[in-house]
Amino acid sequence: MQTRLTINGQSHTLDVDTRASLLDVLRETLGLTGTKKGCDHGQCGACTVLVEGVRINACLTLAVMHDGDAVTTVEGLGTMERLHPLQAAFIEHDAFQCGYCTPGQLCSAVGMLEEAAQGLPSHATGDLTAPPSLSDAEIRERMSGNICRCSAYPQILAAIRAVAGPAA
């Protein structure tokens, strides 16, 4: 099926197998290997990308379901010359060890910060009538879909905190 996707700001018209996951199209068809295939079951978050600004697990969705959508992968967050603030913070706070989960962690953190900015609560939000406060517990809950096998969670939290600002 012919599918139109805008990937990292670049328009693509692709002939896609209707059974192909968005993850496989990104990696195998477009050669964007920053997005990782971890569990291929939506449990680890290594494949997290942003679709229309919302974070999703690319392994759990079919590419044809996103005809006309804008997709941002880790390659689209920043450039070598101008890193996204979260990319710079991950480097500064050594928020990765093996680095396999880092692309998904970064895309998830970008989406999570946008969700909080829009006032969307999480499961850890105590007062649903107050603007979301990004406490450490709130960040941990919002990032809980992304697993780091190396356990760099304190550094990931510190990097996100550096960009989000102090807890309110």
Using CB atoms within 10 Å of the CB of residue 74, give its burial: 0 to 12 exposed, 13 to 18 middle, 19+ buried.
buried
Low-confidence ranges of the chain (pLDDT < 70): 168
Q: What is the pLDDT of residues 101-132, one digit of tens each?
A: 999 999 999 999 999 999 888 888 888 888 77
pLDDT, position 148: 96
Domains of the chain: 2-76 (3.10.20.30), 85-164 (1.10.150.120)
**What residues does 50 pair with on adjacent strands?**
55, 72
Task: Give percent helix, percent strand, percent coil of the chain, each to the nearest 5.
Answer: 35, 15, 50
Would you tell me how many other CB atoms lie within 10 Å of the CB of residue 84? 18
Q: What is the pLDDT of residue 108?
A: 98
Angle, to 10 degrees, between the axis of helix 102-117 and the axis of helix 153-164?
Answer: 40
- At residue 168, the pLDDT reads 57
Q: How far is CA 155 from the centre of its chain?
A: 17
Please, are residues 137 and 124 in contact by the beta-carbon 8 Å criterion? yes
108, 146 in Cβ contact below 8 A?
yes
Beta bridge partners of 72: 50
Q: Which two tokens stand for residue 62?
A: 């079919």
Cβ burial 92-126 (10 Å sphere, 16+ → b, else e): ebebbeeebbbbbbbbbbbbbbebbeeeebbeebe
Question: Between β-strands 2-7 and 48-51, what pairing exists: parallel, antiparallel or unpaired?
Answer: unpaired
Q: What are phi and psi of 46, to 5 degrees?
A: -65, -25
pTM of the prediction? 0.95
